[in-house]
Structure 1
Amino acid sequence: MRTPISRRTVLVSGATIGASALLGAPTASAAVRERGDALVTPIAEVLDGGEQVTSLVLSSQSLSRVERSSLTGSTFAVHVTAINPLTREVAYEQDRLVTGARWTGSGEIILELEHGWGVDGGGTLQYMGGYGRNVVLDLDYAITQVEPLRGRGAGGAVVLDSFRQGRLSDPEVDAFTHHVTASGLNFRLFSPAHQGSRDGAALVVWLHGGGEGGLRTDGYDYYDNETQLRANRGALGFATPEAQDLFGGAYVLAPQATSAWMLDGDGFAPLILEAIMEVAAAHRIDTGRIHVVGCSNGGYMSLKMVAEYSEMFASSVPICCGIGARDGSGSFFISDDELTAMETPTWLVHSADDATLDAEDNTVYAHERIDGSIMSLYDTVTWDGITYPGHWSWIYVARNDPHHRGRSIWEWMATTKR
């Protein structure tokens, strides 16, 4: 990875005069005691608005000889370039604001980066609007040491003048293992620390939205098995300690469509079933506690799975779902007969200000026809003081917010059996 030379830096490769000047030393050789390289690991987190790089970890043997009190938030400058892997175009390029710097117990440096809703330059995904797909960006983090790190003992400076970037790390995402079914459908799987009851653990099937499928048109062949976890917290929520405690341990299965579920519900349904059956055959799954949850495209697909396999699921949670034009003229369709025949316990979630899939035409319509169904209809999608686009009601389920008769949606799912 390159080390940039710019007016922002005085400690760059070969800049011994600058180092001497900073330290007030009589000669460069006395000032610069050691120069070394460092491994840079970007650390990401899936926030309610999607995944962002929130910090960088710097690892180097040279850091063991640094006086720790010499590290400040302005010791290093950070610049990022993000490239779309399909078009090879620059998605964004900018400096990242370092909001703090600290040491780990093992002697690494953590640079905290500004992040959050409305903060540019942190995202790991780019939405290609013309195709309705998210892609994981190629990120190049350039680090520059702009202030000295003081060496222990005799003094002098330790200068990191070469940086190598490691792979992106997101502990929550990385907890899901990679798999492919016999038919070639990608899926990720979270395995619980505790295997549940004598009958096995529950299985939560998360069906992603339209932006998280593959892109195999116009010469592209993109099918990454990543975006269904990185775009939102839908699957990750069920892998949190809080959810796992409520379920007594649950596997979380997140299959990835090769395109979009709504484009071929009839074709995707048996492929999702195959993934479920493969996981159930390989792990101790309580087949009476298989739950299907999905948002947008996946909200439609959760209803489709119940319509096709009525005896499979303990519960269904369609979020901001689509049910199709009532004359069946669209590419996706859940008929009135299918809705009224559903006996699987169902909890529908939507926001009234959804401009992508109208709540009245879809969720309210389905709720009125699914006997005994529960509906949480919000006015807006507002969480932690931030109002998100109205289509993003999956945030509420990922945060276990919907409640009915004293029980949260996770509690309801965890105690519902087939």
Structure 2
Amino acid sequence: MRTPITRRTLLVTGAAVGASAVLGAPAAGAATAPAAARGDGHRAALVTPVAEVLDGGEQVTALVIASGALGRVERSSLTSSTFAVHVVATNPLTGDVAYEQDRVVTAARWTGPGEVTLDLEHGWGVDGGSTLQYMGAFGRNVLLDLDHTVTQAEPLRGPGARGVVVLDSFRQGDLSDPEVDAFTYHATTSGLNYRLFSPERRHRGGRRGAALVVWLHGGGEGGLLTGGYDYYDNEAQLRANRGALGFATREAQDLFGGAYVLAPQATSAWMQDGDGFAPQILEAIEEVAAAHRIDASRVHVVGCSNGGYMSLKMVAEHPDRFATSTPICCGIGPRDGSGGYFISDAELAAMTTPTWLVASADDTTLDPEDNTVHAHERIAGSIMSLYDGVVWDANTYPGHWSWIYVARNDPRHAGRSVWEWMARTRR
């Protein structure tokens, strides 16, 4: 996702504010301006958008600007108003603009030699930062093409009494999200996409191997291979929420003593073909286990919404495979079996895999009474965390988003958190 940005800026020596050119065109007089008028440091700069997966999904939270010319700048001359940022986000499937607006720069920091980081306003309810667009007609999240335009609005002081440094063009680099980028890209022999986090070498489980956490995403994070589209990106299952990322955090890795985290991506939605997807997920598990030292007694399955159904489906299909199952805001299908997905009461009653169900009572997408509570009442010994609503860090989220609690290790039972329970349970 590399979008070139060209913007030339003319700042007259000693001026407080420069005149910015239109995107792609040189500023008036820039081609003929004498060196003295141009200041000491006209240079190109690389702009790297830095994203973070927040509880409400991934947003671009900062831009890193790197240029050799910045190494000559007096650091005190950098302020939050030195650079302005504008973004255009385009849906790559439709070509439509998802949003276009200025981003609020909340701070500007020196983060290395010749490197400045612009912190951008972000958070729940803040527009203009999302890296995904939800296509409601198809129920899918699509990774947007982001075009950030950076303008130098104020001069930076360079060497000498009257020197200024001006960055005259900006080139956008690839989107960076350190947590997401820690997961490597793979596909099974049969073609199912998956991402994999590998623990540090000191945390790979000793003689028996490391644990494996299998994260099964919700319906919005699968591929889109209908309606004339051919979209299967291996991205959204990590960027839409913190479900998989939570298990890759230092806190989780310390609790597990190291764990691989496997995040497969459905070609559509798990609920559309549970019978067909179950062997493909198992294939991914077996391929990871063949390539890495996995403790077969510590394979855990966790999923939200569509993935909550699929976590139950995997246990029903493979009752002796998993150490634990954690279905979040799950669907189990209509009791008469008329739906496209279905976990029968007999299958639920036969489950012996330790199970912890999580949901919110105000979930309007998958009714918790018909699904989560119903499953809890039929799975012997199961644990259930039923919240009144989904509230985290003073933000109120839709009731279906109870995966936020598991991603933050919030559910507790008998003095243990859900991650602790998983980490201490073996098959």
User: TM-score scaled to structure 1, two decimals?
Assistant: 0.95
CA offset at residue 218 of structure 1?
A: 1.3
CA distance in 1, matches of 2:103, 2:342: 45
| TM-superposed deviation, 1:34 | 2.1
Question: Offset at 1:204?
Answer: 0.1
**2:71 is matched with which residue?**
64
1:144 to 146, 151, 170: 151
**Match for 1:67: what amino acid?**
E
Q: In the alignment, what sits opposite 1:285?
A: 294
Question: 1:2 aligns to what?
Answer: 5
Give the match's secondary structure for 1:101. strand
Distance 2:386 2:175 in 1: 37
Q: Aligned to 1:203, what secondary structure does the other structure show?
A: strand
- Alignment partner, residue 378 of structure 1: 387
- Measured in 2, the distance between the counterparts of 1:197 and 1:370 equals 33
Out of 114, 121, 127, the residue aligned to residue 114 of structure 1 is: 121
Letter of the aligned partner of 1:406 in structure 2?
G
Please report the TM-score for the alignment, with normalisation by the length of structure 2: 0.93
What RMSD over aligned residues (CA atoms) do the two structures have, in Å? 1.7
| 1:184-239 deviation line (CA, Å, top 9, x unaligned) | 00000000002023200000000000000000001100000000000000000000
Per-residue CA deviation, residues 380-410 of structure 1 (Å, 9 max, x unaligned), is 0000111100000000000000000000000
In structure 1, the partner of 2:36 is 29
Counterpart residue number, 1:261: 270
Alpha-carbon distance in 2 for matches of 1:106, 1:175: 25
CA-CA distance at 1:326 after TM superposition: 0.2
Distance 1:3 1:31 in 2: 17
The match for 2:355 is 346
Segments of structure 1 that go 5 or more residues without pairing to the other structure are 21-26
Q: Contact (CA 8 Å) 2:59, 2:131: kept in 1 or not?
A: yes
User: Could you tell me whether the CA contact under 8 Å between 2:243 and 2:404 is conserved in 1?
Assistant: yes
Conserved 8 A contact 1:178-1:225: yes
- Per-residue deviation, 1:15: 5.2
Question: What's the offset of the Cα at 1:342?
Answer: 0.0
Distance change (3 Å), C-alpha of 1:62 and 1:16: farther
Q: Distance in 2 between matches of 1:236 and 1:37?
A: 35
Match of 2:285 among 269, 276, 287: 276
Contact map agreement 2:69 2:114 (CA 8 A) in 1: no
SS in 2 for 1:33: coil
How far apart in 1 are the matches of 2:27 and 2:384?
Answer: 65
2:217 to 181, 192, 208: 208
For the residue of structure 2 that corresponds to 1:397, the secondary structure is helix
Question: How many residue pairs end up in the alignment?
Answer: 410
| Cα separation, 1, equivalents of 2:222 and 2:37 | 57
> What whole-Å deviation, never above 9, does each CA across 1:256-296 have from its counterpart, x for those lacking one?
00000000000000000000000000000000000000000
Query: Helix, strand or coil: the match of 1:44?
Result: strand
1:152-301 to structure 2, matched below 5 A, reads: 152-193=159-200, 194-301=203-310
Deviations 1:153-189 (A, max 9, x none): 3541111110100000000000000000000000000
CA deviation after TM superposition for structure 1 residue 65, in Å? 1.2
SS in 2 for 1:235: helix
Aligned amino acid, residue 124 of structure 2? W
Tell me what 1:330 maps to.
339
User: Any idea what SS the aligned residue of 2:147 has?
Assistant: strand
Q: Is the 8 A contact 2:223 2:266 kept in 1?
A: yes
Query: Shift of the alpha carbon at 1:3?
Result: 3.8
Residue segments in structure 2 that go unaligned for 5+ positions in a row:
10-16
Distance 1:9 1:48 in 2: 39
* Superposed displacement of residue 10, structure 1: 1.4
How much does 1:5 deviate? 8.0
- Does structure 1 residue 134 correspond to structure 2 residue 145? no
Tell me if structure 1 keeps the 8 A contact 2:40–2:159.
no
Q: What corresponds to 1:23 in structure 2? A: none
Structure 1 stretch 288-297 or stretch 189-198: which is displaced more? 189-198
1:88 and 2:91 aligned:
no
Q: Is the 8 A contact 1:197 1:248 kept in 2?
A: no
For 1:197 and 1:90, the matched residues in 2 are separated by 50
**Structure 2 match to 1:43:** 50
2:46, 2:65 within 8 Å by CA — same for their partners in 1? Answer: yes
Moved more, 143-152 or 291-300: 143-152
Equivalent AA in structure 2 for residue 208 of structure 1: H
Q: For residues 371 and 61 of structure 1, what CA distance do their matches in structure 2 show?
A: 64
Query: Counterpart of 1:34 in 2: which secondary structure?
Result: coil
